[in-house]
Amino acid sequence: MIGYGSLMSGFGLLNFGRLRVRAAARVALQNARRGFAKFSQHGDRFALALEPMRHDQPIEARTLPPDAPVSADLEGISLLVPPNDFGRLCDREGYSSGAVQRLRQEAAARREDLGAYLWAIFADAGHEIPAFRQELFKLVGYTSPHYVPHPVRLDGNRFAVTFLAPGREGSGSERVVPVRVRTGNDALLSAPEAWRRKPNQSQLQYFATCFLGGLHGIGVQDLLAPLAEERGLADRLRRIIAGEQPHELARFLDMTGLDHAAYWNAFGPPTQSLRRSGLEQFLRAAGDRTAAQPGKV
């Protein structure tokens, strides 16, 4: 599966529990944008949502080698997990693991993995998200107002699954109204915009779970750039990130089950990750600002 928010850090996985990750990598997502848009079922905060920039085209992804420069595209993480762990992730995202198990059974009957099966349905629907979700609902009699599984073509000939938070395009059933519609949160918000509406500890901690993905070299510049307009929020986040930085690598390894060799092969030297992701510049900005003030040494 592909994660683009809290799944990018060990800090974000803490409340979920350990996964048995068989392989991991950074990925670049084409035709995709993200922002804080959906009231979370896990706290008083906005969670991240992913959307295609062009709704008539699919989201696709490519795996990034550990030494690849930061991509101009949005970046996330791919995690190869066994079916039971994927079911647990579905439950966390508010989509029934029982429903996804039925989809897996349909895929197995066609000798396909889940991602390829969902992609085939998506392609048959003309890559139209509303029609795709309606077909999923017909297959299993279920959909979610929170997140719905969505196929992503990976490296041209493989397929992954991510989760999209439905909006005005619908959940696949007229009876299941998306949370974003019920609460009037159709637009993707920047971190400062979300903070103005939810200035609380739950939102602050969620921001940190996403931004800490930068410690693994995942590009988070799109999330960090708007913080220039909200200095107080930026300084709070710097303090949290600096406090969690010494613990994040060990925590990520513990939560994913990866060993140091597998981690290095996927993400490269940790010393380069901070610079690659844009997080180093963000953390350094506070010191640069202080040094520039008159009378400061």
Give the model confidence (pLDDT) of 158-214 as tens digits.
Answer: 999 999 999 999 999 999 999 999 999 989 999 999 999 999 999 999 999 999 999
Is 296 domain-assigned? Answer: no
Asked if the model's pLDDT at residue 56 lies above 60, the reply is: yes
Mean pLDDT of the chain: 94
Is 222 domain-assigned? Answer: yes
Tokens 């041209």 correspond to 156
Is 292 domain-assigned? Answer: no
DSSP 192-215: HHHHHH--SHHHHHHHHHHHGGGG
Is 293 domain-assigned? Answer: no
The percentage of the chain sitting over the pLDDT mark of 70, rounded to a whole number, equals 96
Question: Total domain count for the chain?
Answer: 1
Asked if the model's pLDDT at residue 284 lies above 80, the reply is: yes
Is 233 domain-assigned? Answer: yes
Is 47 domain-assigned? Answer: yes
CA 179 to chain centroid, in Å, comes to 18
The mean pLDDT value for 99-108 works out to 96
Distance CA 36, CA 45 (A): 9
Distance CA 141, CA 153 (A): 25
**CB hemisphere CA count around 121 (13 angstroms):** 25
Distance CA 270, CA 94 (A): 33
Domain that holds residue 133: 2-287
Tell me, yes or no, if the pTM score tops 0.85: yes
Is 297 domain-assigned? Answer: no
Is 133 domain-assigned? Answer: yes
